[in-house]
Homo-oligomer: A and B are copies of this chain.
């Protein structure tokens, strides 16, 4: 590693896959699958966790660190990037890969989710959504066509249709209406995407809240449009985990089996294990980075909150067997000190620890699926979280 932008091609093997966008399943274990998504910018080993690089940076990380952890793909947020620095400016500077120093594949969301959760003065219509920036109040319009245009200007390798995502619980009528609007926007997104260079992919997004029949209807409608990949949106938005997992089970039989399945914005390590068991191939979530910034680490031993005084005199590293320097070479006492004194290095190190753990969890899942022992793997990692790793002087 060299603390630099990442200019290395992916080391993941794509075998003899074609140069465009494709997905190959190499192993199955129950509903779980492991395989490789091939893109012109490199291969993505699945199941894959995508670190979130909201504003053209994975917060607190150098891109070469992200790459070295085994991440094959990162996510960029269309909403944030359209506000600052602006899609046209990024394009003028050579695109998002060059701008942010990440040479591998980038997946972008459509911007719709953050418009709903962050912006002000929203006005939704059949045409799209107008809103005021949460930063300076300036006005923007996001339509299916403009979202795809922005994602194209960024140079995104895997793009998302604009959709309407509603919080849960919610009235069935609201969920129904948003799901049907999202299907119409899927079709418009698909047409807008046709002018983009070959090798890029557009995913449709399943909506339908916690209503099984609406989820099925959404999945079938999108499948009929023949997208190269399918996202499951509108989950982890307030519902219990069992509802989320039930919705995944409901949807899966109606999505093309030979295309990647991406569960958006999820989740905890336990969520990931549960979703992989049900056939999900791709994930993104701010949890490892956001929680890491505030001192909460994810590890083989479960969660460690470094604000907690029980770490104050603990000379042990977080995980001496980890290949991540942050987990292996710094004492818990030092991490506690850095978090308590609000030092940047504390946020940097715990973020790094968390992204390492998420990538290790995915690597373990891929190997376990390939070996036909994913159920055992899931039980082992859960037992590790339960067992924990209290300091001898406890507390």
Contacts and interface: CB of A to CB of B under 8 A. Distances in A.
A337 B3 contact: no
A298 to B, nearest CB: 19
A253 interface: no
Nearest to A7: B329
A385 interface: no
A89 B336 CA distance: 12
- Sort chain A's interface into a size bin: 35 or more
Interface string A76-119: 00001000110001001110000111000000000000000000
A331 B62 contact: no
A305 interface: no
A367 interface: no
A318 B228 CA distance: 41
A345 B60 contact: yes
Given A101-B330, A325-B2, A57 B312 contact: no
A226 interface: no
Contacts of A24: none
Contacts of A80: 341
A74 to B, nearest CB: 13
Interface of A: 1-5, 55-57, 59-62, 65, 80, 84-85, 89, 92-94, 99-101, 293, 312-313, 315, 325-326, 329-331, 333-334, 336-338, 340-341, 343-345, 347-348, 352
29 contacts: A1-B2, A1-B3, A3-B65, A4-B329, A5-B329, A5-B330, A55-B337, A55-B338, A57-B343, A57-B344, A59-B343, A59-B344, A60-B345, A60-B348, A61-B345, A62-B345, A62-B348, A84-B337, A84-B341, A85-B333, A85-B340, A92-B313, A93-B315, A93-B331, A93-B334, A94-B315, A99-B331, A344-B344, A348-B348
Given A3-B352, A93-B333, A99-B331, 16 more contacts: A1-B2, A1-B3, A3-B65, A4-B325, A4-B329, A57-B345, A60-B344, A85-B336, A85-B340, A89-B333, A93-B313, A94-B315, A99-B333, A99-B337, A101-B329, A344-B344
